[in-house]
């Protein structure tokens, strides 16, 4: 359940490209190369070989290997560094966690790139920390398996293979740029040399704020080869992937999610419901605060059945509502959602 809709495709390659720039009083790139990152050094984690202003591989096309250089973390250290990110699955018996890249930012903040091996799945997380080593924000780059037919889209007439690549770079310490390239070829092409049916490049630009949090400022199609019809399932899938690329801090997410919830196809879509669940689960406070402050929103019509059927446990929901700071927002949530959750389910399969 935790990894639903973090599909990234066959042959995923992620790289982190970093450019030198000002750090606004934080640790410099050269200092990090010489002395490491203080909070990581205090944990006994030497990341000096991973600090660079050049390209860093974040993904290996071989699902059994992890890009090098890397530092494998012990289970206890992985939990300490990633416990604030429940969707990573850290703590599972099969999880192996690696740091594969580090980039100092402004004001003592730092960007750390993780690869998590969960069985044969590999997941990439980009996480910002403050000087004390507290998680400030994160971007879920995604999860991928080995070669996959159809990806997460259901084509009734034929099978196709999808491939993705992702490139990230930090510019001047205050902007993160991520480019995702996706393409589709006939599954019958065993050589992989055929012309893609379509090729889509989506560009994501994030502002890195002074406190280390991230704000998605742009998500758009940059280039498209071939044709995608308006009813092609890939279009809806890419729209949902855009939602999952918002940082955990959630700047600007909820209005976008609300707009997607107005679409009739999404209102009845189990896939869209899974995305709504994922966005609530990874950071409940901004999700619920927005719901409470915006009565009459469209997201609630998708979220409430998750509560009614026990997919979101009532006790957990009420605990999260109590954390909402605004008394009026709490009251609204208790009135609109507090009577829900009478059924027991615990899985999206209940829907």
Binned at pLDDT 50, 70 and 90, residue 47 comes out as very high
Residue 237 has a pLDDT of 75
Question: Stretch 25-46: mean pLDDT, rounded?
Answer: 91
Question: Stretch 196-212: mean pLDDT, rounded?
Answer: 87
Residue 139 has a pLDDT of 92
Residue 120 has a pLDDT of 66
137-151 per-position pLDDT tens digit: 999 887 654 444 444
Residue 20 has a pLDDT of 39
Residue 94 has a pLDDT of 62
Residue 62 has a pLDDT of 59
Residue 227 has a pLDDT of 72
Give 40 or 171, the one with higher predicted confidence: 40
Residue 99 has a pLDDT of 94
3-state secondary structure the chain: CCCCCCECCEEEEEEEEECCCCCCCCCCHHHHHHHCCHHHHHCCCCCHHHECCCCEECCCCCCCCCCCCCEEECHHHHHHHHCCCHHHCCCCCCEEEEEEEEEECHHHCEEEEEEEEECCEEEEEEEEECCCCCEEEEEEEEEECCCCECCCCCCCCCCEEEEEEEEEEEECCCEEEEEEEEEEEECCCCCCCCCCCEEEEEEEEEEECCCCCEEEEEEEEEEEEECCCCCCHHHHHHHHHHHHCCCCCCCCHHHHHHHHHCCHHHHCCHHHHHHHHHHHHHCHHHHHHHHHHCCCCCHHHHHHHHHHCCCCCHHHHHHHHHCCCCHHHHHHHHHHHCCCCCCCCCCHHHC
Residue 329 has a pLDDT of 94
Binned at pLDDT 50, 70 and 90, residue 170 comes out as confident
Question: Stretch 267-271: mean pLDDT, rounded?
Answer: 81
Give 43 or 240, the one with higher predicted confidence: 43
Residue 136 has a pLDDT of 96
Give 294 or 152, the one with higher predicted confidence: 294
Residue 317 has a pLDDT of 94
76-119 per-position pLDDT tens digit: 999 999 988 877 767 665 678 999 889 999 889 999 999 888 77
Question: Stretch 298-307: mean pLDDT, rounded?
Answer: 93
Task: Decide: pTM greater than 0.95.
Answer: no
Residue 187 has a pLDDT of 66
217-261 per-position pLDDT tens digit: 998 887 778 777 666 777 777 788 889 999 999 888 999 999 999
Residue 15 has a pLDDT of 46
Whole-number average pLDDT of the chain: 79
Tell me: pLDDT of 164 over 70.
no
Question: Stretch 160-185: mean pLDDT, rounded?
Answer: 75
Choose the weakest-confidence range: 53-57, 71-75, 79-83, 256-260. Answer: 53-57
Residue 346 has a pLDDT of 47
């Amino acid at each position: 359940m935790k990894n639903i809709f973090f599909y990234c495709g066959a042959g995923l390659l992620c790289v982190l490209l970093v450019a030198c720039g000002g750090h606004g009083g934080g640790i410099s790139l050269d200092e990090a190369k010489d002395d490491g990152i203080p909070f990581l050094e205090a944990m006994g984690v030497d990341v000096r070989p991973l600090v660079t202003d050049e390209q860093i591989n974040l993904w290996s096309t071989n699902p059994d290997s992890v890009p090098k250089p890397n530092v494998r973390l012990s289970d206890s250290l992985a939990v300490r560094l990633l416990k604030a990110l429940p969707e990573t699955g850290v703590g599972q018996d099969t999880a192996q966690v690696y740091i594969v890249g580090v980039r100092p930012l402004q004001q003592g903040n730092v960007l750390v790139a993780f690869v998590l091996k969960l069985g044969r799945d590999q997941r990439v997380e980009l996480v910002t920390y403050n000087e004390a080593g507290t998680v400030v924000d994160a971007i879920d780059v995604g999860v991928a398996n080995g070669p996959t037919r159809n990806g997460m889209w259901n084509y009734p007439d034929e099978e196709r293979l999808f491939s993705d690549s992702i490139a990230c770079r930090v510019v001047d310490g205050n902007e993160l740029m991520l480019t995702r390239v996706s393409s589709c070829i006939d599954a019958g092409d065993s050589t992989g040399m055929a012309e893609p049916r379509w090729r889509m490049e989506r560009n994501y630009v994030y502002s890195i704020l002074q406190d280390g949090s991230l704000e998605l400022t742009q998500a758009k199609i940059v280039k498209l080869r071939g044709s995608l019809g308006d009813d092609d399932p890939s279009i809806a899938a890419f729209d949902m992937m855009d939602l999952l690329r918002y940082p955990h801090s959630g700047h600007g997410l909820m209005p976008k999610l609300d707009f997607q919830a107005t679409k009739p196809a999404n209102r009845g879509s189990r896939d869209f419901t899974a995305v709504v669940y994922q966005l609530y689960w990874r950071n409940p406070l901004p999700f619920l605060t927005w719901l409470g402050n915006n009565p009459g929103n469209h997201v609630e019509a998708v979220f409430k059945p998750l509560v009614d059927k026990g997919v979101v446990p009532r006790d957990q929901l009420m605990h999260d509502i109590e954390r909402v700071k605004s008394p009026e927002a709490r009251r609204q949530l208790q009135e609109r959602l507090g009577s829900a959750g009478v059924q027991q389910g615990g899985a999206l399969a209940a829907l």
